Amino acid sequence: MTSVNVKDSDFEGEVLNAEGPVMVDFWAEWCGPCKAMSPLVDEIAGEMGEKLKVVKVNIDESPEAPTKFGVRGIPTFMIFKGGQVVDTRVGGMSKSQLTEWVEATV
């Protein structure tokens, strides 16, 4: 499974109404740390696709969701369960740090 690009128009259906846990990567094209994290996020999607849905939201193309959930810096990663944010991390991290966080939260 790979990550899914989500826009404001389908955020509710793809994230808030999702069956299981969802990790959201809020990012922007101009953000260096976001670009560095992108392949790691895709790897997590591939490795944990059975138990976790992974979506990416470009904050420039879809400003409503990041505003609603208080995103102030990017990259911001949020894990949603049952339509609610259960944990948040901001900034770049190693793949092992990202994996540990996701596994501990999911």
Determine which one of 34, 44, 59, 78 is catalytic: 34
Q: Which helix (H) or strand (E) holds 39?
A: helix 32-48
- Peptide bond just before 75 cis, omega within 30 deg: yes
Determine which one of 22, 24, 31, 78 is catalytic: 31
Give the pair of three-digit tokens for residue 5.
């690009």
Q: Classify residue 15 by its DSSP letter.
A: I
Catalytic annotation on 8?
Answer: no
Residue numbers annotated as active site: 31, 34
